[in-house]
Amino acid sequence: MAKVKITQVKSKNGATQRQIANLVSLGIHKLHQTVEVELTPVTKGMIEKVRHLVVVEEI
């Protein structure tokens, strides 16, 4: 599987509980934190739900 880097660039203030839960599931807890995850259909769906809060880069 391909890996991607996900960085939170916008605050989660004002986000729904579902969006915050997706960020935590991806391993992101703080602003400007970067994590590397494998790009599976599950993680791709979580990224789409928080696309407006994060920046995604392919590795």
Residues 1-31: pLDDT tens digits?
Answer: 799 999 999 999 999 999 999 999 999 999 9
CATH of the domain at 20: 3.30.1390.20
pLDDT of residue 16: 97
Q: How many domains does the chain have?
A: 1
Total Cβ atoms within 10 A of residue 56: 15
pLDDT of residue 1: 79
Crossing angle of the two packed helices 17-26 and 41-49, in degrees rounded to 10: 140
Q: Which domain holds residue 9?
A: 3-58
Residues 37-54: pLDDT tens digits?
Answer: 999 999 999 999 999 999
